[in-house]
Structure 1
Amino acid sequence: MLGRTHFMGGALAGLALAKSMGLPLGEVWAVTGIAGFSALLPDVDTPKSTAGNVLFPLAFVLNRTLGHRGATHSLLAVLMLALAGAFIPGVKTIYLFAFVAGYLSHLLLDFLNPEGVPLLYPFGGRFSLGLFTTGTIFDNLLTVVLFAILFAGLKF
């Protein structure tokens, strides 16, 4: 999926989390934003991505050592980042949950791609439903649908 699709999917996951917890509007926006941006992070393993452009040196190293859709697209990565976040002083638990929700949304969306994701890395195996190829009309349509749902859910 494209970065914009991942951002919308992550933001929608954050919105669902915030709404399910009955958070006030300011917190809804914060959780939605955190989840949207964290949904971009698994693609830090390629310099061609939004996260890879921002964190180019890291993206270059990760791409050379692990390749795209490798370790950063696994449940192990989610667990390691969540644990690391839990030890950052002052981080609110809801923001950590938002980060995890966004990151997981990325894995879910890439699971729809024929290339799949190595959810159980390093134990091998890729998982895929093979429904949408990145950059196709279906990817673009999914972005629009996710945006519409997100827009309706935020209720400006």
Structure 2
Amino acid sequence: HSWRGDRFVAPRSGDHATAPESDSLIPFMPLLLGERLPAEIRQKLIAGLRRPGRLITPYGLATESPRSPLYQSDGYWRGPVWAPSTVLMACALRDCGESALAADIARRFARTCTQSGLAENFDALTGRGLCEPAHTWTASGFLVLASDYAQA
């Protein structure tokens, strides 16, 4: 119902309409299923995530692609890099056998934290801290990723 051959979509309740102009990180969350997700779907999702200029930025994973018409640099969940989604995706990629990609994303995020502090979220194009300047889930995410991937 939600898989469209190359991506997952999030149909709206009631009319089942989708927002095709959105290019969000959310449809990649099924990667959390790891090897329980069919290999063909896993491979297509990972290829989509790897697409240059899409969601992987120098500062971590954007929540909306900077190329999307819906992207907002300070749009809360429409662009900034967040610790929770970064930790989830790093773990998902590792569980899908993509340890090098997981480590790369973790390093990008950790570098952003060391340069910009432990803000609530970060501008995906500049790495500037946004919203609250000190946030516990950012600190926790940084510690988890630094511990898991510092040696990778």
TM-score by length of 2: 0.32
Greater RCO, 1 or 2 (C-alpha within 8 Å, sep 6+): 1
* TM-score normalised over the length of structure 1: 0.31
